[in-house]
Structure 1
Amino acid sequence: MASTSGSGTKPKTRKDNEVWLIGPTAHALTGLKLPSTGEVMSLFFQIHKVNKATIKESAKEVIKQKTKEDEKQGMNPPFSSSSESEEQVNSSASECSPPKKSKPGKPRAKNIMSPVLAKALDRTKISDRDAVHLIAAAAQTLGHNVEDIAVNRKTIRQSRMKLRVQSFKSAKEQFILNLDPTIPLVVHWDGKLLPETAGGKETYDRLPIIVSYEENEQLLNVSKLPNGTGEAMANAVVEVVKDWKLKDYIVAMSFDTTSSNTGRHTGACKLIEIKLEKNLLWLPCSHHVHEVVIGGVFDRVMGPSTGPDILVFKRFQAFWPNIVQSDYSTAATDQEMDLVVTENREANDLLFLKKISDYTKVDKEVSEEACRKFINHLWYLNEEVVGFAFFDMNVGDETKQRMVDSLKKAQNGNRMKAVVKPQDVNDIHLEDFVSSATSQFFDMLNLPTDFLQLSPSLWQTNAGYCKAQKKLKTMKVVNDVAERGVALIQDYIHVITKDEEQRQFLLQVVSDHRKNFPNSLKRTVIEALKKNDLCC
């Protein structure tokens, strides 16, 4: 039975005289034998807990009784000094003390950083410090208690870094999983020399590497090169292509016609073919080719520029506001000269070559320079790429039949670009560029050839031909894709992070966000967010 010591006091129970791991406390040592550690500690807690003595006083009393009992048994004192004895008793007492209950703390702040929020912050170039202010203000405005939300810079930074990695890995795995071997991939790249730090003097070549397919494109990497040589670019492209497991899917290359790309022995294109152990279609940027022609003619007529700015263009730029921009006409109005650079390149290139050759009647100097420049860039009339013309709606049936007949001709060895002499321009035809090597075009792109047995007038009735025609129409022959990659690295190289690995993840995240949120219209944002919820 529990006893009470008086009215108004808490009744004592057996539990009050018990110690964790020891049991009931003892009033004294028994004296029948050497006391055990448990008996010593029972006495200690009796003195300390029941008699309310201090720990130091309790230890001294226990040591005194223990020494007395040892002497009765003819034993030497167990301790060499009083301080050592007190220290040992206190240590044993702490081991017998029950674990303290932890006080209930404040609820852990909620981390609200989500993939879609992290991507939005990255795209809009919000630093981790600025994100603290932005998230806190938005949370308070929406009626949340900011103290319940993790808005410190360290948490935000770590969460964003982790989510970038997760987003990149997820997008990469999904892209590889959805690869269709029947859809040809074109790999694009373009280099740009950029400073490593804002305002810094140390610069590196940055090489955006992107693949395009149908109406889509996928950023693979923006490689940091030791230099801008063909070898360095080829190594970067091949490494990334293999990392993404795209070797068997890449069928063509799109690039600018610089010597570092097109060199016969050390150019990036040739080295990529060697390293990948396969032939690829060479699709140089159509825009760049015509820029070369226009630049050559301008220098020939106006003289080479001695500075970064061309004065006639600066004056035109300054005068532009005075022009009625809603009512103007271009200098050239001939529709035949309106080149379509995204498709039908083969027929258009030959037509353009004949046009500028015939322009000698108007201006011989301009005609000669334009012909000289363009003859050096007849990439789309080489023996392989000329195969696109079989699927060109603007090429007549008679020409197509002669092209079919030319497939039996021996190849001329001009695999990279066609060779034409200026004096022969008006005497050549599209079928003159076709040879037995053109059959490789069909093999590379895995295209049907059974329609070649039919009359060209019946090709449009052949299902395989129509399907191949649709496939080829979506292949990009301009390098705007890579130029967008250059603009991307220029915009984000000096923001948010200085870590190279995180920078690559950042570029991937921004590229992906731009595809999902092409504009800032509310309708677009809502649809993209709903799609994101379904994906998650």
Structure 2
Amino acid sequence: MVIGMCFDTIASNTGKLNGACTLLEKAMGRNLLWMACRHHKFEVLLAGVYSVCLGTSTGPEILFFKRFREKWTEMNHTPEARSIPLIIVSDAIKAFIKCQLEVRHSRDDYLEFLLLAAQIAELQVDVAIRKPGARHRARWMAKAIYALKIELLFTVNKTMFNLNSSRITSFLDVLVENWSDTPSFQVAAVFVKNLVCINDSAERGVALVQHFNETITKDAEQKQFLLQVVEQHRKNFAEYNRELLAKI
């Protein structure tokens, strides 16, 4: 006998009128136990937090996280020692983190989240902060992982997080021939050189989607993975042509 339903928290499942759960209950003529996926419940919670802090977005990535990932090689990856903890963590939470770190986790992102949480809680963990991975909206745990990394590294990378007008225009008070020796000019120059033309990126993205649309897979999720692989391949072999590849 069916007594309950386990499902993702999406409108097609939970819709009041035509959701799959509602239709199943109507078909069976009785109420069933609703057991929403615990992962998706946390995803909804995290999504709400980021919508308030960063605004809503229809794109596949959160731009703030994307910029953080792109600037990773220019950052200091060692958190600053603090006299005052970032947050006050109870002994119960610290004990839970320690206990979970001794458990084998099937997913690397769960373990990475625990290691970052341990550093936030000021537990002794001798593990380097990993380079941020791809962050598409389907990977809900990444929101928490990115947030903890940004918080841990914010203090030692303030110049990268806070590029304000007073710092990038102060070199205007210096003679032009001395600009190259002025720290504010150097910061501004790096910032401008790393600006990405939105139109060019958008056109390349559209061309990529059009070229591979339904040519290899029709599955929406697999298509996202395919596009990421193609984009990374083009970056890795940007300078290679057919003749050079034939010689490898």
TM superposition score normalised by structure 2: 0.30
Structure with the largest fraction of helix:
2
TM-score (norm 1): 0.15
Structure index of larger Rg: 1
